[in-house]
Amino acid sequence: MNKGRIETGVKISFGVLGVLYFFYLKRFVIQEWDIYKVKKKERDITMNKIKIHEDNENVKYILDEERNKKKYIRTFDYKEAR
């Protein structure tokens, strides 16, 4: 009877350790994958592989300004300031 309890206890403890190890590996793989994606994105940016599309809201404003060639009305003349 004691032998049966020990065997089931060992099975349960190894099962718990297996589950904990699985979650640890899962977290480790996710972290490594995120690091890989960040490094790949940085490498692509430095190699100019990433192209910015006009659909991006941040880019639309800048491109519209360049297309309209806005010029400032007021000009500064530093000779008059003296």
Q: What is the pLDDT of residues 42-67, one digit of tens each?
A: 777 666 665 655 556 666 666 666 66
What is the per-residue pLDDT for 24? 92
What is the per-residue pLDDT for 59? 65
Answer yes or no: is 57 within a domain: yes
Answer yes or no: is 82 within a domain: no
d(CA 27, CA 80): 67
Answer yes or no: is 78 within a domain: no
Q: Is the pLDDT score of 80 beyond 60?
A: no
Q: What is the pLDDT of residues 23-48, one digit of tens each?
A: 999 998 988 888 888 888 777 766 66
Question: At 30, is the secondary structure helix, strand, or coil?
Answer: helix
Count the domains in the chain. Answer: 1
Domain that holds residue 49: 2-68
Q: What is the largest CA-CA distance in the chain?
A: 105
- pTM, 2 dp: 0.42
